[in-house]
Amino acid sequence: MSYPTGCFRQAGGLRVRPVPELETCIVFTSRRPKLYMLNLAAWLVFELCDGRGGEQIAADYAAAAGADRDASAIRAEIGTAIERLLGDGLIEHIAA
């Protein structure tokens, strides 16, 4: 699994409401009015999108969530999550 070069950041116009007691985060995309619920893993990927590149996100995700897990499985998860977050307009890609 490879990631596009460049980095990722959260899209503008979002309203982000963590619900830590339920291990979820609710995000409202005001530009395209819709609500999304992120589970804990997706929430972590979303918050790691602060200008980091895909490789860095995967490394930091693994450090926080899955030191004992298969690296390729984690990379695949991150790739899928990034694609989904991009598709739903929660994050954006900044080309290198």
Partner 1 sequence: MQQEDRLATVKALMQGRAGVPGAPSVEPIEPHIRSGATFLFRDPLKRGVPSDEQDVVRRLIDDKHYVGTICSIWGYNVLPERAQEFRRWLLVNEPRLVQATPPGVFYKGTYAVWISTEKEAGEYRTVWSYASLQAIQDLSEAAADQGSTFAQLLGELVGFQDRRPGAPRSQEHWQPASTAHRF
**Alpha helical stretches, state H, the chain:** 40-48, 54-65, 71-87
45 near partner 1, rule: CB under 8 A? yes
92 near partner 1, rule: CB under 8 A? no
Residue of 7, 11, 57, 90 interacting with partner 1 (CB under 8 A): 90
Which residues in 53-73 are b (16+ Cβ under 10 Å) and which e? Answer: bbeebbbbbbeeeeeeeeeee
CA dist., res. 24 & res. 3, Å (int): 25
x/- letters, 16..35, toward partner 1 (CB under 8 A):
x-xxx-xxxxx-------xx
Where does this chain bind partner 1 (CB under 8 A)? Answer: 10, 16, 18-20, 22-26, 34-45, 47-48, 50, 64-66, 69, 77-78, 80-81, 84-85, 88, 90
